[in-house]
Amino acid sequence: MGASVDWRRRNSRASKPVTFMYYVGSGLGLALGSVSAAQADNKALGQFLASECTTCHQLSGESTGGIPPITGWPKNQFIAVLRSYRAKERDNELMQTIAGRLSDDEIAALAAFFEDQGKK
Ligand code: HEC
């Protein structure tokens, strides 16, 4: 009984748009899901890379021994500063060396992570 109902539904004219909507809907769901997963990955990578930075820079946002705080900065500003160290436009040999090892993706991930730190 159930099987024959299924057969008729699958072969009715109405089934095509329904199937179409289903695929569009699930495709959209997948696309949105992967965007937020990518953002989460980005911060996780940022946190991983940040362990090097936080041997000097404080996660609490305090400055210690001449090392400036780098938490809570707007992402774009953080990215611009690290890129200028990497390009050796900003003068500090230590930060030039550290930034010189970072890719654009890694700098963006660090920016995303540090932007969130030190907020209450
Ligand atoms: C060995 C210690 C040390 C480490 C490790 C380190 N930094 Fe720095 N960082 C400094 C010092 C010192 C300065 C100040 C340099 C200057 O006077 O220009 C600085 C400056 C900065 C600035 C600019 C701050 C400002 O107010 O202008 C940013 C952004 C920054 N570091 C990010 C990072 C990131 C991201 C990492 C990890 C990938 C990192 N630093 C690792 C010591 C360190």
Say yes or no: 77 and 109 in one domain.
yes
Say yes or no: 67 and 87 in one domain.
yes
Say yes or no: 66 and 112 in one domain.
yes
Say yes or no: 64 and 99 in one domain.
yes
Q: Which of 67, 58, 61 is nearest to 94 (CA)?
A: 67
Say yes or no: 1 and 56 in one domain.
no
Say yes or no: 58 and 107 in one domain.
yes
Say yes or no: 23 and 47 in one domain.
no
pLDDT at residue 16 in the model: 55
Quote the ligand 1 centre to 112 CA distance (angstroms): 16
Say yes or no: 46 and 98 in one domain.
yes
The pair of three-digit structure tokens given for residue 36, joined into one six-digit string: 């937020």
Say yes or no: 46 and 17 in one domain.
no
**Domain total of the chain:** 2
pLDDT at residue 68 in the model: 96
Residue nearest to atom 15 of ligand 1 (CA): 92
Say yes or no: 29 and 49 in one domain.
no
Q: 14 lies in which domain range? A: 1-33
Pocket of ligand 1, beta carbon within 6 A: 49, 52-53, 55-57, 66-68, 70, 78, 81-82, 92, 94-95, 98, 110
Say yes or no: 57 and 23 in one domain.
no
Say yes or no: 12 and 48 in one domain.
no
Ligand 1 pocket test target in 47, 48, 56, 79 with most atoms within 8 Å of CB: 56
Residue 20 has pLDDT above 70, yes or no: no
Do the Cβ atoms of 71 and 117 come closer than 8 Å? yes
Question: Can you give 11-75 as a three-state secondary structure string?
Answer: HCCCHHHHHHHHHHHHHHHHHHHHHHHHHHHHHHHHHHHHHHHCCCCCCCCCCECCECCCCCCCH
**Per-residue pLDDT band at 93 (split at 50, 70, 90):** very high
Torsion sign (Cα): 32, 38, 43, 44: positive
Residue with tokens 């990955």: 41
Residue 105 has pLDDT above 90, yes or no: yes
- pTM for the structure as a whole: 0.76
Residue with tokens 């230590």: 94
CATH number at residue 73: 1.10.760.10
